[in-house]
Structure 1
Amino acid sequence: MSTNSQRSGSQPAEQFTWAGMYARSAAEPKGLGRGKRGRYDFAVAYPDPGSLPLAGLLDGLKQAMDDEGGDLSLYANPQGYTPLREFVAAKLQRDRAINVTADDIILADGSSQPIHMVAETLLDPGDVVLTEDFVYAGTLNTLRRFRADLRGVATDEEGMIPAAIEEAITTASAEGKKPKFIYTVPTFQNPQGWTMTLPRRKALVALSQQYDVPILEDDCYVDLRYEGNDVTSLHSLDETGRVLYVASFSKIIAPGMRLGYLTGPRQFLEHAIGAKSGGSVNTFASWAVHRFSTTHLYSHIEEINDIQKDRRDAILDALDENFSGSGATWSRPQGGLFIWLQLPEHADLAAVRDDILEEYDVGYLPGPNFAPDGVSGKNCARLCFGYNQPDEIKEGIRRLATAFRAKGLIP
């Protein structure tokens, strides 16, 4: 009730209703606020708070303010801060064998905005997009926002299975719906943890070229390698301009900086930048990340990988100790932030998730969150190991096993 209505004693004004006003293409409603986080939080891929390079970022920002502070009076280049784009181009050439220039880079808000830009640029309602059988939930939500027809492709520990990719392409094409693109997280896949092998990458690129279906390569976790050898990017294996590439500073500096990037053929980027809302990325964040990255990024990656390897090892040890003989299986990734846990087929981890969070203070995300059909994988869960200390990880996994046994999901 307004103050004027209260003072006059009049009846409150009838409130306008927004029902019936929403566009047919409007996003599905979501509750406001944030739900409870477990003390033992395996649900979200947060990094270790103690590993954030706060002093280095602040020093970099101070230096940039001294050097370029007056430029805050200007609206920045929509593609983003040029020196940071130059750094990204050099990093891609060094680390991923991707030969591009700063003009071929668009900086954006994390990796989510570039993926949104790709979807808005390419998708009409009903267009088929192929993904892994379980894949990053944020991208699935974006693709659903544009009413894509999502079709999961079978995978194993080496990545997407070439025969399954080809079958999915030919099936959709026979329906008159040739896939618009293939979305993949080929390195330390979210949520399954595997890394696509070089032969599988070559096979995927060959199928892309044979059937004229582009690829969207999401390489956000590639720097988080704890063991084994790097595998070159899909982008580097394609010389035809069919591969779009996105990555991010979120997991190697801080998610809260909200900085990622997109590269691809310029003819595509010229369309995609038109779908980029809000102009340039935040100048403060760009300055800080650029100054820090040019002098400290690679040593910082080594430091955080040592931390995360200890946590990866802690969660694997705890799973061995608490789940052996239960019928459960789990991935053993060489990097990244995710363990993919699979219980016997009868288990429904989605049904008990909220109860376990409330009763045992342990959080996880169930398999259907990552399924293109939204229902598969009820006996699966993604466990993130980046946030909690190793002793907390071990206690959290002990509690999770206790909870699953109490719910009758494992013996």
Structure 2
Amino acid sequence: MTVSFKYWDDCLDPDDMRLMWADAHVSKEWIDAGEEKGQKVHLSRDPDGEAYLTQTEMMYMIGALAEIASGRRLFVDNYDRKTKETKMGIMQVTPEVAQWLGRELGYKNYDIELGENIDLLYWPFINVYFGAAYAKWLFSCDEKERTEEFVARAYKGGKKKANHKSSAPIFQRYLYVKETLLSMRQADSFNELTPQLLENSASAGTQLIHWDSKVSEEDMGAMWSHPDVKKEWTNSGERRGNVRFSHDAKKRPYLSRVEVKAVAEIIISRHLSSRGVKPEALAALAEVCSMRFVQGVRSRTGLMGIDYPTAAWLYKDCGYTTYTVSSVDDLYNPFASMYFGLAYLGWLSQYEGRERSHEFIVQAYLGGPDKVNLQETGPYWKKFLEALRHYEDPKKDQASCCIL
């Protein structure tokens, strides 16, 4: 292995370098070490001369995974004789996994042809990007909700050994490293690392602040024309061209219920009114899927929890082309997520060529159409009805609610 970098600038884009300098803890560490803005920043070296990332440069869960995977070393390879694949870099990502994540799951922030320049996987941001994306996938692999312990053990020891006693020490090592990293910063300085950390893996280094950065001018115009939205935005001091998303205590962007319902009304009236879906029902599904978080929660992507493969299929094969979906990032546009969510509801309403009940559609949307049963997916219907109360007219009989 001959790849080596001396400076951060050799393996980061200028925009990523600016993000690193913008982090108060990183910039302090660099300045204390004698680095200067405008000059190349040296990579840290261990006593053997190996380049590595400091604990400030990589924090929490991703830092813990990097620690147990590679010891935070940038230029380390591990060849697996069974799979005949080589794990590379700080997160020990294989080229095959990186290409699969981009091709099948839409992780294209770093849209690179690894076959032409495989050494790009040694670049820290690229390697961590794909490593974080893979960890996020592990949280819901095989269509099951997984624990943090499963992910840590599967990431290092392989999915097949994640529940085997042989991988138990991996999780203990992971917890030790993570606790060490957490203790380095005050609790209120950064989000606590839970599975939700990886909701943002597809847009690493990017914080969703403004509506205008994700939504087209046409859709923003429609929002400003909505009387309830205009009143809410005006009362909170928002201005055209610079409308902020609301953020929770962990700085995660979310939509108010007024905003969610407005997006549903606009999408339905403009594009898919023939489906007959009620805006209240669509908004309630967003409530259950994502708790109205722009980036979704856990394994559910975006406002409506629509994953990239499903959206790409609806776009390419079913003719739903009003909104482009070329990467998973496109699904962080509330309008795009709502659009593809509505399209999927329409497809489920005629699943396997049969007219489906409202209960089936909701349960199939949230749990998968091939897994609808009273025991496993029945509670989804109850959650949906509870969420619907936030959007229905209180004078209306709740028992008469419908989707289509």
TM over 0.5, shorter chain: no
TM-score, normalization by structure 2? 0.29
Higher RCO (CA-CA < 8 Å; seq separation 6+): 1
TM-score, normalised to structure 1, is: 0.29
Q: Which has the higher helix share?
A: 2
Larger strand percent: 1
